[in-house]
Structure 1
């Protein structure tokens, strides 16, 4: 029996992992602890084998006034939690980092494929806070305390706050979209959950870059969501130059239409964790979204 503690109670990612592991009650025992106040410091870590640390700040404005809070939560809290885990005799600490340590998406029309030789290059204090957290917990690693770091690409799934939600909303409201080619790595929450399960099962250490088996393109995601919802979506060519100009004034344009992808070789693992295909993930999310809407209306 593997005993797992999720630090970050109530987080979408944490709840997804807990629900996933609970499918095997004979193999995994899972608890979570709230990290939003100091009560976690008196929580008994000693009875667990692995800690999965997901507590952190993301998907909020990068207002300069929040910089110190990002470092306090994403860096300092992570290192402090890892130290407590080590002192408590826990064997493995899994940290939910982010691809943001490599910087932002490329400019429109440019490729950005991250390989094993690509060096981290944070573009803002969000990325730097994650990278410094990685560096801090690596220093704690020894033969008895293993550290596994997950540099996740764009995460998405039912109930998660992600860019996918904006694309889904657009696809349901409109019928045309610019056909701008880009390359994106994404990771469905169920694929992440299975990957985390395997890291726990094999007591892994090191840095990992999981992603779906397929690259995606923003325009194609819009098209596929529309198809699943039985809507027509016309992708219009020839407007890339307009968005390139817009991107000079609006960074969100590059975020939407730029490229950011991992070399598929980085994401290989000894067991298959990509249990849901990209297209099936869209079908699952959109189907569940519809059923939840029906429940609310009733």
Structure 2
């Protein structure tokens, strides 16, 4: 199958390119700037594609005519979205319109990545039919993009995920696990909240979920995440224990102690039974995910 990926330089993009190559799929990796994929990757085509430019999107899609497009590109910094709403709309909403038009023109299946931040966090874990109610501009933008995909796409899937963690090949992306590990290794005291709940998602698991949806031509909405419901404080303690670091440096606190431009939903997390039953999706446990990260850090 010929599959085009947007945002191939990002953490999920990198994992997807690697996974698809390993499964002998024909891969077109795209990003709006130069190719930053590992030099050891081979057997794929790279194209510069600016998803905010409809001409660029149409040109690349018509040139390669993929059967499926996996859209991993987005502005995901929640606070930046709150401060730069115009930029957020451009990348998270307007660009999706261009991808929908491009995919419809070549009859491609659009697989669009979304987030637990479309929910208000009043309860969890959440199934696919839960009513969205975003409390941040980032969440609003992703909900708008979902609505566009459902309304205008001829063939579509939406994959929602939660708190993705993993190792980018160039260490260009941080996440809560790396932040905790690096802080404790440097003897820093850190404050971590205990009043938010998530089902953290290993990047490799999210890539696998995207591939299962694509390979099976599965349409509709799928929740793809880890299965362990944890607070950031619990994540930090488990990370300290796994890497044999000093957990006494971790101070338990709550969200009221932090001032951030964007609100965070207190409790989300996903019910992933649909993905398990329909796709055969089986995520790593959080401890298994830490083992994957540890192995990658050793080999980097």
SS in 2 for 1:270: helix
SS in 1 for 2:227: coil
Q: Which residue of the other structure, out of 257, 262, 266, is the alignment partner of 1:246?
A: 257
SS in 2 for 1:282: helix
Assess, with a 3 A threshold, how the Cα gap between structure 1 residues 47 and 63 changes in structure 2: closer, same or farther: closer
Deviation at 1:179, TM superposition (A): 8.8
Q: Deviations for 1:29-55, whole angstroms, at most 9, x for unmatched residues?
A: 111223337434321445311010112
SS in 2 for 1:61: helix
Q: Distance in 2 between matches of 1:202 and 1:286?
A: 31
Alignment of 1:47-196 (within 5 A): 47-59=65-77, 61-62=79-80, 66-90=84-108, 92-103=109-120, 105=121, 112-141=124-153, 145-159=154-168, 160-172=173-185, 173-174=187-188, 180=194, 183-196=197-210
Q: Distance in 2 between matches of 1:72 and 1:262?
A: 28
Q: Distance in 1 between matches of 2:193 and 2:83?
A: 37
Instruction: Provide the residue aligned with 1:295 in structure 2.
Output: none
RMSD: 3.0
TM normalised by structure 1 equals 0.79
Q: How many matched pairs?
A: 274
Q: Any conservation in 2 of the 1:171–1:223 contact (CA below 8 Å)?
A: no
Tell me which moved more, 167-176 or 48-57. 167-176
Structure 1 unpaired stretches of 5+: 293-298
Assess, with a 3 A threshold, how the Cα gap between structure 1 residues 214 and 64 changes in structure 2: closer, same or farther: closer
The 4+ residue runs of structure 1 with deviation greater than 6 A are: 175-179
Instruction: Provide the residue aligned with 2:26 in structure 1.
Output: 29
Q: Any conservation in 2 of the 1:79–1:136 contact (CA below 8 Å)?
A: yes
Assess, with a 3 A threshold, how the Cα gap between structure 1 residues 279 and 65 changes in structure 2: closer, same or farther: closer
Structure 2 unpaired stretches of 5+: 32-48
Q: Distance in 2 between matches of 1:67 and 1:287?
A: 38
Q: Distance in 2 between matches of 1:244 and 1:40?
A: 40
Q: Distance in 2 between matches of 1:60 and 1:166?
A: 17
Tell me which moved more, 183-192 or 228-237. 228-237
Assess, with a 3 A threshold, how the Cα gap between structure 1 residues 124 and 81 changes in structure 2: closer, same or farther: same
Q: Distance in 1 between matches of 2:179 and 2:75?
A: 20
Instruction: Provide the residue aligned with 1:296 in structure 2.
Output: none
Q: Distance in 2 between matches of 1:60 and 1:12?
A: 17
Q: Any conservation in 2 of the 1:178–1:235 contact (CA below 8 Å)?
A: no
Deviation at 1:132, TM superposition (A): 0.9
Q: Which residue of the other structure, out of 280, 283, 286, is the alignment partner of 1:278?
A: 286
